A and B are shown apart, each in its own frame.
Chain A
Amino acid sequence: MFIIKLALKSLLNRKFTVALTIFSIAISITLLLGVERIRIGLENSFSNTISGTDLVVGARTGDEQLLLSTVFHIGMVSNNISWHSYEDIAANELIDWTIPISMGDSHEGFSVIGTNEDYFTHYQFANKQHLQFQEGKAFHETFDAVLGADVAASHEYKIGDEIVINHGSGDIAFHDHGDKPFHVTGILQRTGTPVDQTIHVSLEGIEAIHIDWVDGMPDKHMHFSAEEVEHLHLEPEYITAFLVGLKNRTDVLTVQRQINTNKSEPLTAVMPGITLQRLWNMMGKIETALLIVSGFVAIAGLIGMLVALLTGVNERRREMAILRSVGASPLKIFGLISSESIVITMWGIAMGIAFVFLLLQLAKPILETQYGIYLNPSGISLQEIYIIGTVIILGILIGIIPGYKIYKYSLLDGMTVKM
């Protein structure tokens, strides 16, 4: 009991250095767990991008490229699919639903996709969640647009606002479709997926703004106004890709083979789940890098702690000699110093965990809106328990080092300190 009281008084006496040591351990733990949370959040956000879709179909290209362009709006596929092929495949009796996607335009850096109303019915993300409207409704007219949550938030768009679509993707557009503006009819609820950064219009809308364009430029000899174009036949000739939902998931390989061996047009059908996993594995190096960084952070923190603890050892040799003179055994002294170090480690870990949860609460809205990373702010994962457990064990082992050093000193010094 006295030894515990003595340890506490000693810690209080060195409160500034002890506080600094606890703080440095806490920072290491915060970084370690924070990086881990972000890593898991990234992986979840990535794999939650699309669900419930059995196949993504595009013109013949690489699996990853098709998925990246269709689902993440990263890069472009070089070829399109003819509307005729799309209709043929969509009529396959094994297929339940399809969502055609036409890409290539943008608004203020956000992707514009042309699709049909099936998109709002069948598109699913995360754990088979459907898209929900936070305001308004799906498009019905040619120049209606439905905005993702981030698009609406970034420009404070409201229902009824007018937006102009630029030709081509990217922040800087050389030509716009200013003569045929769109009107916002709906704003989707946040999904944490690229849908939030997308403007959805009808395929007819996409066709309408390009009907008087040739080779990516407005046709010098032909021009239709927005009113005129409404009366034209606006069925698209080509689309970029389409998503497929099957009546029975077990038919996926059959349908995939049918599409991949389509005679009329070379097509690629990919299973999004598998391709997403492959893509994530390709990014595995990033994951490993993050783990290595957090590992080094933890090692640096523990070494810092060891340095702080060992610095205190010399200061305390006299104190230990006094305790030896009154009958304290070297083992008791070892216990005293080790338990002090362990208490410091535990405090550091506890504070680090508290920091992580506090920071997650603070950073959650920013990470969600700015980066689309959805973190789980509560509960501790098994992986995190392993990390904390490892740090506790290392902390205890490190705590034993100064204890052992003092033990050796106390055997050598006896009741008098030779310094």
Chain B
Amino acid sequence: MNNSIIQIQNLKFNWDKSKVPFIIIPELEVLKSEHLLIKGDSGSGKTTFLNLISGVLPLSSGEIKILGENLVDVSSSKRDAIRANHMGVIFQMFNLIPYLSVIENVLIPIHFSEVKKNKIRAKGIGPKEEAIRLLTELGLQQKEIHEKKVTELSVGQQQRVAAARALIGSPEIILADEPTSALDENNSMRFLDLLLEECKKNNSTLLYVSHDSRIHQKFQQSISIHDFTEDMPIAEKTKKEAVVCS
């Protein structure tokens, strides 16, 4: 139980209170350092699920515990703080601020979290050195790239910058929302390998949302978002949860 990073109990979420729930999760537990693939087609609710985990969307009912803290019981500002201090997020694309340099983009989370800043200081280095270290590990070692505007980078390079931004400050949870959808197959696999490796080094839990079935074998665990959405009978959902929590 101490190893548990995310715990979900009887989660229900619907966009409109009068309608049937869009997502139902009777039980789900994600452990520390676990790499979980959440499969699902476009529009199936994967992103909504990540927004629930990150505390951006409020639950309709049930509970989500992040590092033991129940998101239902805390204020929205506390949920923002949990996200800032313990999570890193990678989106599909367009996920960098265009008028900031590569380094500035990587350092954004540091400005919102003292916890992340302190974790870097504990390593005996400054945030900028940590950003450079992460970029280098993700294959962006050339110094001139670091000061470039992100719009001057290729899509593949941009996604690595986004990964560095998610990883900076060693957050316990990395949420990745189809980060490879804009990349070709080679680049996708390379990016995914780098991300998994970095998560392993940091002992970060990775929740990776994708519709790409080819990456299935790279993950220790996988669930399908269809298991949790409204068109699935409850009995079926409960069966699937055993697979997830194994």
Residues of A within 8 A of B (CB): 2, 6, 9-10, 12-13, 318-319, 321-330, 414-417
Contact = CB atoms under 8 A, between A and B. Distances in A.
A330 B96 CA distance: 19
A327 B112 CA distance: 6
Given A327-B80, A416-B47, A322 B56 contact: no
A415 B80 contact: no
Interface residues of B, number: 30
Given A322-B108, A326-B84, A414 B89 contact: no
Given A9-B100, A415-B91, A416-B177, A329 B56 contact: no
B39 interface: no
Interface in B40-61: 47, 50-51, 54, 56-57
Nearest to A1: B111
Contact of A319 (B97, B111, B165): B97
A339 B78 CA distance: 24
A415 B97 contact: no
B180 interface: no
B84 A318 contact: no
23 contacts: A6-B100, A12-B99, A322-B91, A322-B96, A322-B108, A324-B56, A325-B54, A326-B89, A326-B112, A327-B81, A327-B109, A327-B112, A328-B84, A329-B76, A329-B77, A414-B51, A415-B51, A415-B56, A415-B91, A415-B177, A416-B50, A416-B51, A417-B94
Interface string B91-126: 110111111100000001101110000000000000
B161 to A, nearest CB: 12
B57 A13 contact: no
A146 to B, nearest CB: 69
B180 to A, nearest CB: 16
Interface string B59-98: 0000000000000000011001101110001011011111
Contacts of A324: 56
A327 B113 contact: yes
Contacts of A2: 111-112
Contacts of A325: 54, 83, 89, 91
Nearest to A9: B99
Nearest to A410: B56
A414 B51 CA distance: 6
A6 to B, nearest CB: 8
A250 B89 CA distance: 86
Closest 8 CB pairs of A and B: A327-B84, A13-B99, A2-B111, A414-B56, A325-B89, A414-B51, A327-B112, A326-B109
Contacts of A329: 76-77, 80
Contacts of A10: 99
Contacts of B97: 6, 319, 322
Contacts of A416: 47, 50-51, 91-92, 177
Contact of B54 (A12, A328, A415): A415
Contacts of A414: 47, 51, 54, 56-57
Contacts of A321: 91
Interface centre among A318, A327, A328 (most CB of B within 10 A): A327
Nearest to A416: B47
